[in-house]
């Protein structure tokens, strides 16, 4: 089908991708600092695993139930039902590292190859959206027609990996690859716009030495997502804002800023919009935690783990952001030492082995 850009432009022309063609696709990302250390890339990917693993045991619990059962969680919990720690990774985290594996094989992001790698790997704990994608691909549909329209947060968890092939030579192809990667499993405007906004944030964090001012997190998300999501209509499932109908970016812009201005804690704010797996719940929770605790890497992850419902996903993204900003050293040493070694649930390279391969191919 040609280059990734040709594929994406054709999808825009034919309506095959649920997304507005914003100006970001013609803009190169900011150059990375000459003294950027690989620790930030490593920290971003390890942060995904750390946050996911800290939250996975109590995923979907209310903060009240979690607190009653465990108190405040600040370390990995024993796995439930006698499972091995290796099992404590979601389908979305497995797909994140499957993406890395396939990009290492191909030397770049090839969307059809990644889609087929997802199909041929045994993914544990597959959610509804991933199951629909796999069924569509098995039926013979082309990869770009297999992702269902889903406004859940699964694509966000794996999207950080898209920065990797662009570390040496950052161009606007970063945004092209991100859009195509997101739509493999979730062909939805809010999902793909949020993925592009998150990658933009992560890339910007590579160039920072300290946490940005709190409003930056909100402004950066909205400035990217608004141009791509457009005037969509999503609803909040429960909580204070059930009457809202509109784009995710506008809900985030209005309600996150309001909560911050009112000095709400993370728990108070996230309880207002129900911090579940829908993007209209996940994204405001993510941005609010980063606004409140972006200067406190450990506390940011701990708040995501304890004060949200879809805590594994939100903590994974908070962890990725903190790792991209501060590097691996921002995490307690025991978090790094004790994290799962095989996030794809397959024998072979460990997460540290994959990181070594990434460093060799796209850094050294």
Cα–Cα distance, 72 to 311 (Å, whole number): 13
Q: Is residue 3 part of a domain?
A: no
Residue 129 is predicted with a pLDDT of 84
Q: Is residue 324 part of a domain?
A: yes
Cα–Cα distance, 318 to 297 (Å, whole number): 9
CATH label of the domain that carries residue 124: 1.10.4080.10
Residue 130 is predicted with a pLDDT of 84
Q: Output DSSP code: residue 170.
A: -
Show the tokens assigned to 175: 């945004």
Using DSSP, state whether 224 is helix, strand or coil: helix
Q: Is residue 66 part of a domain?
A: yes
- Nearest 5°: CA angle at 329, between 364 and 175? 55
Q: Which domain holds residue 352?
A: 36-73+83-362
Tell me how many domains the chain contains: 1
149 Cβ contact partners less than 8 Å away, ≥ 6 residues apart: 18, 186, 187, 188
pTM: 0.95
CB atoms within 10 A of CB 125: 15
Q: Is residue 114 part of a domain?
A: yes
Cα–Cα distance, 179 to 184 (Å, whole number): 9
Residue 232 is predicted with a pLDDT of 98
Q: Is residue 11 part of a domain?
A: no
Alpha helices in 159-265 (DSSP H): 173-185, 189-206, 214-229, 248-261
Q: Is residue 20 part of a domain?
A: no
Residues forming beta bridges with residue 138, ordered by sequence position:
none
Q: Is residue 10 part of a domain?
A: no
Cα–Cα distance, 215 to 150 (Å, whole number): 29
- Nearest 5°: CA angle at 51, between 285 and 289? 25
Residues forming beta bridges with residue 234, ordered by sequence position:
246
Q: Is residue 12 part of a domain?
A: no
- The one-digit pLDDT tens for each residue of the chain (364 residues) are 689 999 999 999 999 999 999 999 999 999 999 999 999 999 999 999 999 999 999 999 999 999 999 999 999 998 665 555 444 567 778 899 999 999 999 999 999 999 999 988 766 666 678 889 999 999 999 999 999 999 999 999 999 999 999 999 999 999 999 999 999 999 999 999 999 999 999 999 999 999 999 999 999 999 999 999 999 999 998 889 999 999 999 999 999 999 999 999 999 999 999 999 999 999 999 999 999 999 999 999 999 999 999 999 999 999 999 999 999 999 999 999 988 765 554 555 688 999 999 999 999 8
């Amino acid at each position: 089908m040609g280059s990734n850009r040709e594929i994406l432009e054709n999808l825009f022309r034919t309506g095959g991708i649920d997304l507005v063609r914003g100006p970001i696709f013609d803009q190169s990302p900011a150059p990375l600092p000459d003294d950027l250390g690989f620790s930030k890339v490593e920290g971003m990917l390890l942060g995904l695993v750390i946050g996911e693993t800290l939250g996975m045991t109590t995923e979907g619990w209310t903060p009240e139930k979690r607190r009653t059962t465990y108190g405040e969680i600040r370390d990995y919990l024993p796995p439930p039902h006698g499972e091995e720690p290796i099992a404590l990774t979601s389908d979305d985290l497995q797909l994140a590292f499957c993406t890395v594996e396939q990009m290492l094989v191909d030397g770049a992001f090839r969307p059809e190859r990644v889609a087929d790698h997802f199909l041929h790997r045994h993914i544990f704990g597959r959610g509804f959206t991933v199951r629909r994608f796999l069924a569509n691909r098995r039926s013979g549909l082309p990869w770009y027609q297999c992702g269902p329209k889903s406004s859940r947060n699964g694509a966000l968890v794996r999207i950080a990996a898209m920065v990797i092939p662009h570390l040496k030579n950052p161009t606007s192809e970063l945004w092209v690859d991100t859009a195509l990667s997101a739509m493999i499993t979730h062909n939805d405007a809010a999902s793909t716009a949020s993925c592009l906004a998150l990658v933009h944030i992560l890339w910007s964090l590579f160039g920072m030495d300290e946490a940005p001012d709190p409003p930056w997190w909100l402004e950066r998300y909205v400035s990217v997502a608004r141009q791509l999501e457009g005037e969509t209509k999503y609803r909040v499932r429960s909580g204070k804002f059930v009457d809202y109908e509109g784009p995710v970016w506008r809900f985030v812009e209005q309600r996150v800023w309001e909560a911050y201005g009112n000095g709400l804690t993370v728990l108070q704010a996230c309880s207002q919009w129900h911090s579940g797996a829908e993007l209209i719940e996940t994204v405001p929770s993510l941005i609010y935690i980063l606004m409140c605790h972006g200067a406190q890497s450990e506390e940011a992850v701990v708040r995501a783990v304890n004060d949200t419902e879809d805590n594994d996903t939100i903590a994974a993204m908070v962890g990725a952001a903190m790792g991209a900003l501060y590097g691996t050293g921002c995490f307690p040493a025991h978090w790094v030492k004790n994290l799962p070694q095989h996030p794809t649930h397959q024998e072979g390279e460990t997460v540290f082995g994959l990181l070594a391969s990434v460093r060799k191919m796209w850094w050294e």
